[in-house]
């Protein structure tokens, strides 16, 4: 449809913060970005992003007990009526996800040490190949193996945070939301290691995108003064405020200063803010609004993408071209056209 804003902070830098700690989006995809990466550059960037994970991984024996009961009241695969969690014995590094309809066999479930290796393998695959369909399938299978074994520890956190970030980059909001919800549950149950500042910031912007204002308010009310000072949360609070006030100048400044993966969520708000901004400009200015001014204020990467937006998204009227004058929106004609809609 229309383009995304131009110059912005590098993805590698944003992911780097998230690790210590984009997609064809549904509305306002990532087309037309200034400095669009080549496939090779993207692979190099992804490799760097996961570099600190490739040689290690979470140690589930050191973080958390992992002794909680499985969400499933299922047997251990031996035919008994025991409700103890399954104890996996599979050594497969890769495994496709499938929905369970009965208790799995231990031979089909991977134990924590294998899951740790599998997660490292999946991160490496994503960094070099960016095959989201494969990676999502593998991560869902890892999550399932953790669930049926009732494992809730550092490894579980690592898996859900990794999947959540990759889903964000791939524009898979459904999968991302499942991950952020599970991370919130893990944090509330006392499992250590959740990057709460990062993912609380994401939750605020995601709720804004979903227009779930009740969730936005509830999340803000739960924030302590200390939590509000965190980089991710402070940024997200600024996004919420600028969005509600229609302050497009601040919104786009925050977009280009977004920490970690926050700009991927803001992508879904860009077109909304542009439409609101045009309406504000048409109310405030006379007799015309230069296209160069609009392009700069709303961060369009090219005149063509701006013209497409004006023609198809907001249906504004362009002023008749005159010698020595640059192209502009005709405010009176635009107001009249909108009044007829």
Q: Delimit the domains of the chain by residue range.
A: 11-272
Amino acid 45: pLDDT: 56
- Average per-residue pLDDT for the chain: 84
Q: Which residues contact 327 (CB under 8 A, 6 or more apart)?
A: 290, 291, 318, 319, 321
User: Is the CATH number of domain 11-272 3.40.50.300?
Assistant: no
Cα separation of 89 and 105, whole Å? 9
- Looking up tokens 């956190």 gives 157
Average pLDDT over residues 48-63: 48
Distances (CA, A) of 146 to 41, 112, 311: 34, 8, 51
Task: Determine the pLDDT at residue 69.
Answer: 42
Mind giving me the DSSP string for 216-232? Answer: HHHHHHT--HHHHTSHH
pLDDT category at 4 given cuts 50, 70, 90 is low
CA 9 from chain centre, in angstroms, equals 15
Q: Is a pLDDT exceeding 60 seen at residue 6?
A: no
Between CA 277 and CA 205 the distance in angstroms is 19
CA dist 237 and 213 (Å) reads 13
Q: How confident is the model at residue 321 (pLDDT cuts 50, 70, 90)?
A: confident
Measured in degrees and rounded to the nearest 5, phi and psi for residue 330 equal: -85, 110
Burial 139-160 (b: 16+ CB within 10 A, else e): bbbbbbbbbbbbbbbbbbbbbb
Nearest to 271 by CA among 327, 310, 217: 310
Contacts of residue 335, defined as CB under 8 A and 6 or more positions apart, other chains included, come to: 282
Span between the terminal Cα atoms of the chain, in Å: 22
């Amino acid at each position: 449809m229309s383009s995304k804003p131009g110059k912005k902070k590098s993805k590698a830098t944003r992911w780097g913060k998230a690790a210590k700690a984009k997609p064809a989006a549904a509305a306002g995809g990532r087309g037309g970005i200034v400095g669009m990466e080549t496939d090779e550059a993207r692979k190099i960037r992804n490799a760097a992003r996961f570099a600190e994970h490739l040689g290690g991984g979470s140690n589930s024996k050191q973080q958390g007990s992992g002794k909680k009961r499985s969400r499933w009241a299922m047997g251990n695969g031996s035919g008994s009526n025991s409700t103890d969690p399954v104890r996996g014995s599979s050594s497969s590094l890769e495994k496709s996800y499938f929905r369970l309809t009965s208790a799995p066999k231990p031979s089909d479930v991977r134990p924590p040490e294998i899951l740790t290796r599998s997660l490292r393998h999946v991160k490496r695959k994503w960094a070099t190949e960016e095959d989201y369909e494969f990676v999502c399938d593998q991560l869902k299978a890892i999550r399932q193996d953790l669930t049926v074994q009732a494992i809730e520890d550092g490894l579980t956190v690592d898996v859900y945070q990794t999947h959540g970030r990759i889903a964000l980059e791939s524009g898979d909001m459904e999968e991302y939301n499942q991950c952020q919800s599970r991370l919130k549950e893990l944090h509330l149950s006392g499992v250590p290691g959740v990057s709460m500042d990062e993912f609380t910031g994401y939750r605020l912007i995601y709720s804004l995108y979903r227009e779930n204002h009740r969730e936005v308010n509830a999340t803000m009310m739960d924030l302590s003064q200390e939590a509000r000072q965190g980089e991710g949360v402070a940024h997200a609070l600024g996004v919420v405020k600028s969005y509600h006030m229609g302050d497009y100048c601040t919104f786009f400044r925050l977009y280009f200063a977004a920490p970690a993966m926050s700009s991927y969520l803001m992508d879904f708000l860009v077109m909304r803010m542009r439409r609101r901004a045009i309406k504000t400009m048409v109310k405030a200015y006379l007799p015309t609004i230069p296209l160069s001014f609009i392009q700069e204020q709303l961060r369009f990467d090219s005149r063509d993408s701006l013209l497409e937006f004006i023609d198809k998204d907001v249906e504004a009227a362009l002023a008749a071209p005159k010698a020595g004058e640059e192209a502009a929106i005709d405010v009176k004609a635009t107001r009249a056209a909108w009044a007829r809609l």
